Structure 1
Amino acid sequence: MSSVDLLPALLIVAPIVAATLPIALGLRYDRTGWAVAAVTTTGLFAAAVALASEVYTAGQVIHRLGGYPRTYGIELVADQFSMLIVLLVTGVAAGVLAYTRRGGPRGNTFYSAYLLLVGGLLGISLTGDVFNLFVFLEITSLATYALVASGDGAESAVAALKYLILGTVAASMYLTGVAFVFMATGTLNMIELTSAIPAAERPILIRAGLGFMIVGFATKVAQWPVHTWQPNAYQQAPDGATPLIAALVSSASAYAFGRLIVTVFEVDYLAATANAAPIVLAIGCVSVLAGTTLAVIQTDVKRMLAYSSVSQFGLIVAAYGVVIAGSSETALIGAAIHLVGHGLLKAGLFLAVGLVAVSYGARTVDEYAGLATERPVVAGSMAVLLFALVGIPPSVGFVGKWYIALGAVESQLWPVAAVIVLSTMLTLAYAARLLEKMYFTHPPSIESIPSPEPVATDGGDATAPDGASPDAVSIGMVSIVVVAALAAVALGFAGGAIADLLAPFLTEVFN
């Protein structure tokens, strides 16, 4: 076994083991969590790059724990699809730390949950077993509950409890589906299930399992109407935790849902299953429209971006529906690119939102008035990220939507293409509100601020509430937002290269 073959296991085990260090070292030293997290995530990103280099040049890397046969053992698989998510997880996890170094939270327990979350996300990305997918989903969920609850006030605890209840229901639904599939096939390995599912003697169990899994992932991916946990979780989580949660948690679940469709059940089997494609298409398209509509009417910026995520993930689920209905390679490429692009965009946007909140105490759209004057670099980066979210070329947001829309047109699914166009206009509506406030609205003058209650404005630290001050922002906090904006444009130019990297995986799926 070569050293590269060990990297999939190392990527999962290292952050989970490292998660114990901040608490252990905290018994003797204060605030060691950030340093442990920084060293661990930097190493993980380097290992992910090394593994990706091997996968994209020599093909997939498979690690069998204990050397047991895949029918009974645990298998980790790094292929062209999964490595996109591994790179996203490790890159965002390392990048967000540039914000938390100054912006917080700083407690050791926070960074233990942070690393545990990273380990769970990497497990979701690399597992080749449907039961262990459940295990890693639960590790991810437990860590996310802790991160959301670490915010200030009772609202954070309530948001975490709501997420826990809905997350537990979703996980139970998925596990029930796994049980039905196992009863019908006798195996849990994804590759084994590829051939075992079509040959199953009790197809009713397979269809029941598929139904439970769809409902479970619809909740995990925050699809309407089972999306209600997400806005509260994003809004009430600490500003240093929201970028990680928003960029990665539902993204990993959306990837896992796609993995089940193209690897476990396979496109041909699902295409022959009555109502499978219409159900997935309906879930995705309704979520796209509901999410953008709800985002337009929000006044709190974090909630607006949270509902935006409902819409963006709906677009990915709709792309999966196009893959099933039309056996569309183009739509699957679009789903993969949009999955990575959305994770990057939301990480950058929530980092920028946290930066503005720390420096000026601004939380609502109206409080962003004049931000371009006070912080032109941050406002400019947010503008780039918002344009990418809308889908303005040459951003990564445009490339993902283009491939999905093209796949829908090729498959003659015209309503899906219409939904994409309509959602783009609605996305422009709420993005334009924020841009208009930042660039074309002046902040209220100090004389106009009522007394004695302080009001959050963008005019200086004298009026910033809750101890917010422009001096609280570090160069690292600004730099990571700028890097996210530049990466959003760079990935837009790299859309064709990403499609080429996915070519071997697509050949395996569709041939």
Structure 2
Amino acid sequence: MSELLPLLVAVPIVGALVGLVVGYKFERLAWPLAVVTSLAHTALAAFVAFEVYAGGEPLSYAVGGFQPPFGIELVVDGLNAAVVVLVAAVALGILAYARRAGPHSAAFYTGYLLLVAGLSGMSVTGDMFNLYVFLEITGLAAYALVATGDDGRSAVGALKYLLVGTVGASLFLVGIGYAFVATGTLNMADLAEKLAGVGYGSTLVRASFAFVVTGLAVKTALYPLHTWQPEAYASAPDSVSALISALVSTVSAYALGRVIFSVYTVDFLSSVAFAREFVLVLAGISIIAGSVLAVMQTELKRMLAYSSVSQFGLVVAAFAIANDAAVTGGVVHLVGHAVMKGGLFLAVGAIAARTGARYVGEFDGLAARAPLLSAALATLSLSMVGVPPAVGFVGKWYIALGAIQSQLWPIAVVILLSTLLTLAYFLRIVERMYFRSAAPREAPAERSTGTGAAAVADGGANDDSDTDDERPTLGRGSDVDFGSPSAGMVAVILVAALLAVALGPLVSTFEPLLEPTLDLLLQP
């Protein structure tokens, strides 16, 4: 079944090209073609994952018949099988939401599918240079999608994303260049052997690690390398915000973990004290700073963006702890966060379409006006906090357990503090929705032009706080122009909320499937 691996990348690329050509002439066909492509991609990803988990062995494919380390290798094991399915399924769900919300051009769906192709390539490649290539494809597609909003704010957000993202990709490229100079290879498995042969004390090897990790930390949006994320998330169309928040940083964090375990290995973390400390400190700062900045926000999408900074800090900390419990928790939280945060962005967008509310102060009495959406938002929020038995609780529990097992008590304390801060910024929304009465408010259309008292009620958006006197205008990219959300859009959000709860108990089923891969990755 290894011959199916290239199709994980090829199917969305072909779908993107066909959709662009056909959709240019018949625009109404662009979305159906994207859906057919996504359905085929999801079915393919699910089948590949089934083969990996049922067979208990990784699948490997040598592109063009050139065997590694000289050729390009695609690999799917128990770890990235889950990521591939996640990418396909979440992209399909958000595409269903985007049928009515956001841009509808053939170019938009082409960029959408190219992003899925890039993310799939990042997930399955076994070659460092091709990881860089797919990282760039993902970045270019994401920049274009962020810019699809109709107002200038989305263009500014896309430009900032482009500039910072290019720096991150360049740092990553420098890092793999150092690794190539030291070893003469870029195949991940071959690099792991040859880096050990060169010696972990080599300046080239250590510099390579520092540059690669820093570059991927930019893409993951760890603090203080997160500066592109809040504006990109806040200014993009809601469907794009959901897609990027759920998948782009998720796959970047996966790539960081893959490089740590499959290229540098746990032996490097054990032998080079600064390496583990560097990643742990970066992750710990991100966990706390992201949570604090999220508490300071009044615009929901910016609050969710800073929340992601904190949550991905948890995942990266789990990878740095590098024991079974922590890495299991990191993978669970990686998958769970994609479902929870994607659902949260979609819920915020649907609520804005239904009521015009995009700021914390506008959510008073929302449960009476939009009961289903409010219930979904509350469920997703509490799952993100870590209320049992939701997946947010299970992931954090395993990470904290791993930290305690490794005697990393400061990390366990940081996780607890972060959970309390997460409770603070999500609970205020739930409290307003269910325990306050709705105040008289302007119509969404009036607010979207920036007029009226509500347009300046809760502050605007600076880099790290929402305390400006003026709010940004909400163009079509913010999905406020299509009227009330459809039943299909609400259904997608409700499914995300149900999955956020259901995935928690299912971890006990997933853990044995992941165990053989973790045994290989974490063995000294």
The TM-score normalised by the length of structure 2 is 0.92
Indicate if the aligned counterparts of 1:359 and 1:470 stay in contact, CA closer than 8 A: no
Contact 2:353 2:483 in 1 (8 A): no
Q: Which residue of 1 aligns with 2:389?
A: 394
Structure 2: gaps of 5 or more residues: 456-473
Instruction: Kindly state the Cα deviation for residue 496 of structure 1 after the two structures are TM-superposed.
Output: 1.5
Cα 1:14/1:90, change in 2 over 3 Å: same
Letter in 2 for 1:114: Y
- Relative distance call for 1:454 and 1:111 in structure 2 (3 A) is farther
One-letter amino acid of the counterpart of residue 336, structure 1: V
Moved more, 366-375 or 24-33: 24-33
Residue 303 of structure 2 is aligned to residue 291 of structure 1: no
The amino acid that maps onto 2:76 is A
2-structure distance, mates of 1:262, 1:412: 21
Code of the residue aligned with 1:507 in structure 2: it is D
2:10 to 9, 13, 17: 13
Identity of aligned residues (%): 49
**How is 1:82-481 mapped onto 2 (pairs within 5 angstroms)?**
82-200=80-198, 203-323=202-322, 328-445=323-440, 453=452, 455=454, 468=480, 472-481=484-493
In the other structure, the counterpart of 1:502 is: 514
Quote how far apart the aligned CAs of 1:7 are. Answer: 1.8
Query: What are the superposed Cα offsets for residues 81-138 of structure 1, whole Å, 9 maximum, x if unpaired?
Result: 0011111100100001221111232111110100000000000000000000000000
Q: Give the secondary structure class of the aligned counterpart of 1:240.
A: helix
Question: What is the CA distance between 1:471 and its match in structure 2?
Answer: 5.1
Q: Does 1:492 align with 2:489?
A: no
Worse-superposed segment, 493-502 or 385-394: 493-502
Quote the offset at 1:446 in angstroms.
Answer: 5.8
Query: What secondary structure does 2:37 align onto?
Result: helix
Relative to structure 1, is the Cα distance of residues 469 and 211 closer, same or farther in structure 2, using a 3 angstrom cutoff?
closer
Partners of 1:369 and 1:442 within 8 A in 2: yes
- Equivalents in 1 of 2:482, 2:23: separation in Å? 30
Q: How far off its partner does 1:473 sit?
A: 1.2
> How far apart in 2 are the matches of 1:333 and 1:200?
30
Cα displacement (A) at 1:394: 0.2
Number of equivalences? 496
Confirm whether residue 55 of structure 1 aligns to residue 70 of structure 2: no
Q: Is the 8 A contact 1:217 1:254 kept in 2?
A: yes
Q: Deviations over 1:291-346 (max 9, x none)?
A: 000000100000000000000001111112211xxxx1111101110100001101
CA contact (8 A) 1:103 1:358 kept: no
Query: SS of the residue aligned with 2:350?
Result: helix
Cα shift readout 1:53-77 (whole Å, capped 9, x = no counterpart): 1000112111111111201100000
**More displaced stretch, 271-280 vs 422-431:** 271-280
CA deviation digits over 1:27-64, x for unaligned, max 9?
Answer: 32123221111111111111111111100011211111
Indicate how the Cα distance of structure 1 residues 46 and 236 shifts in structure 2: closer, same or farther if over 3 A, else same.
same
Partner of 2:29: 32
Structure 1 residue 466: Cα displacement: 7.9
Contact 1:359 1:469 in 2 (8 A): no
Q: Distance in 1 between matches of 2:16 and 2:454?
A: 39
Superposed CA offset, 1:341-370 (max 9, x none): 001101100010111112222110111222
What is the CA–CA distance in structure 2 between the aligned matches of 1:55 and 1:241, rounded to whole Å? 31
In the alignment, structure 1 segments of 5+ residues that lack a partner are 457-464
Contact 2:69 2:187 in 1 (8 A): yes
Partner-residue secondary structure (3-state), 1:198 = helix
* Structure 1, 196-205 or 423-432: larger mean CA deviation: 196-205
Q: Distance in 2 between matches of 1:157 and 1:471?
A: 24
Conservation of the 8 A alpha-carbon contact between 1:102 and 1:472: no
State the TM-score, normalizing by the size of structure 1: 0.94
The 3-state SS of whatever aligns with 1:439 is: helix
Query: Are the equivalent residues in 2 in contact too, given 1:99–1:477 (CA < 8 A)?
Result: yes
Distance 2:286 2:522 in 1: 27
For 1:155, the aligned partner's letter is R
Tell whether the 8 Å contact from 2:441 to 2:454 is kept in structure 1 after alignment: no
Instruction: Please give the alpha-carbon distance, in whole angstroms, between the structure 2 residues aligned to 1:470 and 1:231.
Output: 24
Aligned to 1:460: none
Instruction: Check the 8 A contact 1:247/1:346 in 2, yes or no.
Output: yes
Task: Name the CA shift for 1:448/1:210 in 2 (closer, same or farther; >3 Å).
Answer: closer
Q: 1:338 to 1:183 in 2, by over 3 A?
A: same
Moved more, 436-445 or 124-133: 436-445
- Distance in 1 (CA, whole Å) between partners of 2:319 and 2:441 is 52
What letter matches 1:121 in structure 2?
L
Report the 3-state secondary structure (helix = DSSP H, G, I; strand = E; otherwise coil) of the residue aligned with 1:194: helix
Cα deviation, residue 283, structure 1: 0.3
The 3-state SS of whatever aligns with 2:70 is coil
Take 2:24 and 2:508, find their aligned partners in 1: how far apart are those partners? 50
Shift of 1:506: 1.3
SS at match of 2:222: coil
Find the aligned partners of 1:360 and 1:25 in 2 and give their Cα distance: 36
Partner Cα separation in structure 2 for residue 266 and residue 73 of structure 1: 22
- Cα contact 2:151–2:475 (8 A) shared by 1: no
Consecutive aligned runs of 4 or more in structure 1 exceeding 2 Å deviation: 445-456, 465-472
Residue 211 to residue 54, structure 1, CA distance change in 2 (3 Å):
same
Q: Return 202-211 or 411-420, whichever deviates more.
A: 202-211
> Pick from 66, 69, 79: which aligns with 2:67?
69
One-letter amino acid matched to 1:477: M
Q: Say whether the 8 Å CA contact 2:356–2:443 is kept in structure 1.
A: no
Distance 1:89-1:419 versus aligned 2 partners, 3 A rule: same
Structure 1 partner of 2:464: none
Contact map agreement 1:360 1:469 (CA 8 A) in 2:
no
1:200 and 1:503 map into 2 onto residues whose CA distance is: 30
CA distance in 2, matches of 1:369, 1:254: 36
SS at match of 1:63: strand
Q: Which residue of 2 aligns with 1:46?
A: 43
